[in-house]
Amino acid sequence: MGNTESSNRNDDELLEVYLDRQIPRNKKAMKTKLENVLIELHRKNEILDRLTNERERHLERIEEKEKVIEGKDFVIQSFDEKMMKIQVFKQRIKEKESELREKERLLREANENVDQLNSENERCLAEQLRLLQLEREQKADLQERLRNMQIQMDQERNRRISIERELTEERLTLQQDRENLERERERYEQRIRDSERNAIESEHRLRELQSAVSSAQDTLAEYRRLEPRDWIIRRDEVTLSENSLGVGAWGKVYEGSFRGCKVAVKQIHELILSPHNRRLFEREMSIASRCRHPHLLQFIGATNDDGSPLFVTELLDTDLRNILTQRALHQEEIICLALDVSRGLNYLHLNKPFPIMHRDISSSNVLLWRRDNSWRAKLSDYGAANFMRQYMTENPGARIYAAPEALTSQQSPKADVYSFGLLLCEMCIRELPVPQQIHQQIGLVANGVLRELIMRCVARDPEARPAISDVIAVLTQQAESLRAQGLVTINGRTATL
C-alpha cells in the first residue's frame, strides 16, 4: 500500500513538472507564430502597393510612347510634302526636256540654212549653244538633286519601318508586363486571403490553448494544495552560531544546529516570497529534497514562513576554492575530485522526465570532506540556484564559469559541461577563469589528456561538447592510467601522462 502511494505521488510530481514547463512553451510558440503571420501579411501588403505603383509607371511609359508615335506621324506627313515637291521638280524637268527638244529642232533647221545666215545669225547660234549647254548643266544638277532626294526618301522609309517595328514590340512587351502584373496581383491577393484565414484559425487555436492552460493551472494549483511538503522545517528548530562559513551571492552561510546535529545554514537576504515566487520556491525545494547521491550535498530542509528562507544542509570541512588558494592539487586529487563532481552532475542530468540543470558550478560550490586521508567532493546549491536564478532579474551566479548561451533560452545540460570544463582547468592551474583568456589558460594545463578534454567541454557549440557521462568515461580511464602509469587513449589519439 505504501509503495503504491509513493508511486502515485511521483507520477503526480512528474506531471506537475511537465505541465509547468510544457504548457507555457506551447503558448509562447503559438503566440510567436501568430505574430509572424501578421508580419507576413503586412509585408505582402507592402509588396502589393509596390506592384500597383509599378503598374502606374508602365501606363505612363505607354502614354509617352504614344506621344512619340504622334511625333513620327508628323515627320511622315513632312516627308509626304517633300514627295509632292519632288513631283513638281519632275514636272519641271519634263517641261525643260520638251523645251530642249524644241530648241534642238530649231537648231537643226538653223543648220540647214547655215549658209544663208549672216554673221548675226552665227552669233545667235553661238548664244543658243551656250544656252543649250547651260540647260544641260541645269538638267544634270536637277537629276543629281532628284537622286539625293530619292535616297533620303528611302532612308526615311526605312527609319519609319524600324520605328513602327520597335513600337509594335514595345506594345507587346507592355501588354505582357500588364498581364504578368495582373497575375502577380491575383496571386498575392490569394495569399493575403489565405494568411487572413490562417490568422483567424490561429486565434481560434490560441483561445482553445488558453482555455486548456487555465484548466491545467487550476488542476495544478489543486494538486499543489494537496501535495505533502515534508522538507519544511520550523524556524525555531534552527539555531545559528556566530561562526560564518562564507558569503555568497545570495546571502551568508553560518554554522548552526538542527535537532542536535551540526549543520550549514544559508540565510538568504532581501527575499520576499510573493505567491508566484513561493510556488517556484516550493517546487525547487521539493526537487532538492528528492535528490539522493553520495556526491550531492545532502539537503535537510528549509523554512517556508514569511521571513527570509533558511536552507539547511549537511556541514562539510571546506570548499575547493579555499584549498586551491593554499596549495596545488596532485594529479590523483584532480582526477578524484573531478570524478566526484561529474558523477553528481550525471545524477542530476539523468533525472526523468526532465534533466535537472545546476547552472552555478564553481569552485566555491564544490564542498570537500576527508575520507581515508584524501579529499572527496560534493556539489552544493543544486536546488537553491535554480530558484534564485528565476527570482532575480539578473543572474547572480558566477559569470566567469557561465556558458555563452547562459543568458538565452537555448539552455541544456551542456551548459553545465562548459562550466565543468572551466572548473577542471582551474583545478589544474590554480587560476580563476578569465573569459577573454580561456584558451591561453587551457594551454597552461600540463596533462595532455585533461587539456584536450577541457577544450571539448568549452566548445562554443553546445552540440560539440561531450555529455557528462562521456567526461566520466575519460576521467575513469585517466584514473586507471595513473594507477598503472601507462597510456591513455582519447578520441583515437594516445597521450602520455
The DSSP result for 374-398, as a single string, is EEEEEE--TTHHHHHHHHSSS--S-
Buried b (16+ CB within 10 A) or exposed e, 56-82: eeeeeeeeeeeeeeeeeeeeeeeeeee
Q: Do β-strands 493-496 and 487-490 pair in parallel, antiparallel, or remain unpaired? A: antiparallel
* C-alpha cell belonging to residue 414: 551542456
- Identify the DSSP state of 407: T
Q: Which amino acid is at 314?
A: E
383: nearest Cα among 297, 269, 276, 446: 297
Query: Which strands, in side-by-side order, build the sheet including 318-319?
Result: 318-319, 366-371, 374-379
Answer yes or no: is 3 within a domain: no
Residue 411 phi, psi dihedral angles, 5° rounding:
-110, 150
> Is there a single domain that holds both residue 35 and residue 168?
yes
Which domain range does residue 416 map to?
235-496
Model confidence pLDDT, tens digit, residues 16-41: 665 555 555 566 677 677 777 778 77
Same domain, 366 and 449: yes
For the chain, how many structural domains are there in total? 2
For a pLDDT cut of 70, what percent of the chain falls above it? 81
Residue 327: CATH number of its domain: 1.10.510.10
Q: Which of 91-95, 191-195, 272-276 has the lowest mean pLDDT?
A: 272-276
Mind giving me the DSSP string for 303-359?
--SSS--EEEEE--SEEHHHHHHH-PPPHHHHHHHHHHHHHHHHHHHT-SSSPPP--
Does one domain contain both 143 and 246? Answer: no
Q: State pLDDT tens for residues 224-243.
A: 555 567 788 888 898 888 88
Q: Is residue 426 part of a domain?
A: yes
CB proximity list for 491: less than 8 A, separation 6 or greater: 452
Using pLDDT thresholds of 50, 70 and 90, give the confidence band for residue 494.
very low
Is residue 69 scored above 80 in pLDDT? no
Sheet holding 310-314, edge to edge: 238-247, 251-258, 261-268, 310-314, 299-302
Q: Which of 226, 259, 292 is the last residue of a domain?
A: 226
Shared domain check, 244 and 213: no
Assess if residue 65 is contained within a domain.
yes
Domain membership of residue 7 (yes or no) is no
Residue 378, pLDDT above cutoff 50: yes
Give per-residue pLDDT as tens, 421-470.
Answer: 999 999 999 999 999 999 999 999 999 999 999 999 999 999 999 999 99
Shared-domain flag, residues 155 and 284: no
Whether residues 212 and 312 share a domain: the answer is no
Q: 285 and 189, same structural domain?
A: no
Q: Is the pTM of this model over 0.85?
A: no
Pair (435, 325) in one structural domain: yes
What's the pLDDT tens digit per position in 286-342? 778 888 899 999 989 988 887 778 889 999 999 999 999 999 999 999 999 999 999
Residues 220 and 368 in one domain: no
Domain-located, residue 430: yes
Q: Which of 226, 256, 275 is the last residue of a domain?
A: 226
487 within a domain of the structure (yes/no): yes
Find cell 562559513 and name the residue: 245
Give the residue carrying C-alpha cell 538568504. Answer: 268
Q: Is residue 6 part of a domain?
A: no
Same domain, 320 and 355: yes
Domain contains 4: no
Is there a single domain that holds both residue 217 and residue 346? no
Helix, strand, coil tally for the chain in percent (to 5): 65, 10, 20
Asked whether residue 291 falls in the same domain as residue 143, the answer is no
pLDDT tens, 392-403? 433 434 689 999
